[in-house]
Amino acid sequence: MAKSYLARIVSFGQPVPGKNSPQLWSDRSRCPAKKNCRAVPRTSPNKRLVAYQKSVARDALCSMQGAPCSGKLIRVTGTVYVGDVVVRDLTNVLEAVFDALQKVAYHNDFQIHEIGNVVRRLDRKNPRVELTLWEIEDPVWEEAREKAWVNREKSEARKKRAGQVQGRLV
């Protein structure tokens, strides 16, 4: 697999896991009778997580220096420096970072083809995430992905034609 350097992204601040407890709220205010209505629990994204993801996206834009997103496969390496010894699942922290980098460093996190050598370290004075992104080529995967896109486009065209035919009959 050939690879080429894409970007080095450094985002400062305590990393926040992507799957932490969402905030619950109920939707009783929409109940017309205001009584005998059951509170329906709803979730909203955690405010700390949303703020952290905005910060990561902003830092990534600065690091990328205006380089456009590419459609190629991505390899990720790097280090997550946490500021305390609280147990954080590394995969959940990476999930939050990958979601934040979507539409900035790549179109969709489906493009992340390989995660290599990402470690967690302790740095009490300067918590941060340092990631290096590489564009990689995997001919077998890209050929399969190309066939899937062609099949998807054919399927959508068939559905569109079928819809047009049904529209004429009605």
Q: Which pLDDT tens digits describe the chain residue by residue (170 residues)?
A: 667 888 899 999 999 888 754 554 455 555 555 555 555 555 666 888 899 999 999 999 888 876 666 778 899 999 999 999 887 789 999 999 999 998 888 888 888 989 999 999 999 999 999 999 998 888 888 788 778 878 888 888 888 887 765 555 44
pLDDT value, residue 157: 85
115 and 127 in a single domain? The answer is yes
Q: How many other CB atoms are found less than 10 A from the CB of residue 13?
A: 15
> Do 169 and 94 belong to one domain?
no
Distance between CA atoms of residues 121 and 11, nearest Å: 15
Our count of domains for the chain comes to 2
Residue 26 sits in the same domain as residue 64:
yes
Considering the domain architecture, whether residues 22 and 94 belong to the same structural domain is answered as yes
Q: Is residue 36 part of a domain?
A: no
Handedness of CA 4, 67, 62, 98 (dihedral sign): negative
Domain that holds residue 150: 138-170
Q: In this structure, are 132 and 142 located in the same domain?
A: no
Are residue 132 and residue 78 in the same domain, yes or no?
yes
CA-to-CA distance for 112 and 39, rounded, in angstroms? 40
124 and 150 co-located in one domain:
no
Structure tokens at 160: 């569109």
Pairing of strands 3-12, 128-136: antiparallel
- The per-residue b/e assignment along 91-112, b for 16 or more CB within 10 angstroms, e otherwise, is eebbebbbebbbebbbeebebb
Q: Is residue 119 part of a domain?
A: yes
Q: Do 122 and 48 sit in the same domain of this protein?
A: yes
